[in-house]
Amino acid sequence: MTTHLDPARVPPPPGPREDPHRSLHSEAGARPGEHPGRSRNPLVKVAGLAWLEFEKPDLDRAGRFGTDFGFTVADRTPETLVLRGRQAAAACLVVRRGPRARFVGPAFQAAERGDLDRLARGTGGTVAAHQGGHAVLLRDPSGFPVRVVHGVPELPALPGRAPLPLNFGTGPARANATQRPARRPAEIQRLGHVVLGTTRFRAALDWYLDTLGLIVSDFLYLDGQRDRGPAMAFIRCDLGSVPADHHTLAMGLQPHTGYLHSAYQLTDIDEVAASGAYLRERGYRHAWGLGRHIQGSQIFDYWRDPDRLMFEHYTDGDVFDAAMEPGWAPLSASGLAQWGPRATAEFTGTNDPRVVVAAIKALADKGNEIDLHALRGLIKAMGS
Ligand SMILES: [Fe+2]
């Protein structure tokens, strides 16, 4: 019988110049002819993710989860709830009253007002006044409405906690003082990214690169099916020499098109863990964490809101400038984290019975990229 300790199967220890993480990370780049991960001539280059729009039937409940999760209420009317982080920025979430809980779409920040005109000309859209600024409303190939905004007034910064002083390295940062991070709601600093599943991944990927000028940080492919191209992409803003979040948008080929999660930056790891303890005490449903991702390197913790939509707390994510080329790695559940518990079915969505119905529908619908081969690859990835 072969065991895991069979010496013939144990890899040799890494040599002095070998990176022991090499098999975990995606430092391997593209092969000749593979997707370049950026458009040669995009219509515009957006400056960032502005906010996310949702609909919810119960705005009071959404507000309670929102403040427990770490947002601050910026505005509340009978029909709208606006949740913000503490940094000076637009709001993070705009939640309107609607018949069922759903993600509506993202809003991106245009770098300049003229970019809205370029987008309108290039897509047949129109520029309209929006929230004190201007916006053009587009639709991506997955069907999500995508707003690109400019001139919407920023909310002023709110005071926030400083990172805890840590006794790491030489010389204590904290003498004659204890460390007591409080189990209380997080103080969300800002919106980081949104992750979407789509049955039309390749079309949507190219649309975001060509239309909004986003660029790919990392591609994931279905193991054994690299020749069909990427099946997931972590995509950032092209800010030239200014480093941008490793991903502002991530998209993956999925049997059904929809929101997967969105992520919000916290000040340090104790904030992630201690605010997670608070959410647990309040009875919220934990999805996955703590761990550290590979693509983006964030220390993460995932939660479900009362409508089962997933939200992520994170800290210490990578930032890349425009010089970084896309990495390539196979998609697998175990490849989603460097350390931490194995990705749960609650996180991957494989415990949701609706996924089977969605897969059958996607197979029957010929206008997408889901075929049996792709489905097999996705199932294998989630089990490996
Ligand atoms: Fe995330």
Determine the pLDDT at residue 384: 86
| Predicted model pTM | 0.92
Ligand 1 centroid to 261 CA: how many Å? 7
Determine the pLDDT at residue 26: 57
Ligand 1 centroid to 237 CA: how many Å? 16
Q: Is the pLDDT of residue 313 over 80?
A: yes
Ligand 1 centroid to 47 CA: how many Å? 19
Ligand 1 centroid to 109 CA: how many Å? 20
Determine the pLDDT at residue 4: 39
Q: What's the token pair of residue 62?
A: 């959404």
Determine the pLDDT at residue 7: 40
Listed residue (265, 248, 235) closest to 326, CA to CA? 235
Ligand 1 centroid to 61 CA: how many Å? 23
Ligand 1 centroid to 260 CA: how many Å? 9
Ligand 1 centroid to 43 CA: how many Å? 27
pLDDT tens per residue, range 209-249: 999 999 999 999 999 999 999 999 999 999 999 999 999 99
Ligand 1 centroid to 299 CA: how many Å? 10
Ligand 1 centroid to 105 CA: how many Å? 16
Q: Is the pLDDT of residue 3 over 50?
A: no
DSSP H or E segment with residue 252: strand 249-253
Contact 321, 239 (CB under 8 A): yes
Distances (CA, A) of 142 to 58, 166, 168, 192, 258: 27, 45, 46, 21, 9
Helix 269-281 to helix 59-69 angle, to the nearest 10 degrees?
140
State the virtual CA torsion across 34, 37, 39, 40 in degrees, nearest 10.
-60
State CA 271 to chain mean position distance: 19
pLDDT tens per residue, range 169-187: 988 999 999 999 999 999 9
Ligand 1 centroid to 133 CA: how many Å? 29
Q: Is the pLDDT of residue 14 over 90?
A: no
Peptide bond into 378 cis (omega under 30): no
With bands split at pLDDT 50, 70 and 90, how would you rate the model's confidence at 376?
very high
Q: Please tell me the least confidently modeled range out of 4-13, 76-85, 97-106, 175-184.
A: 4-13
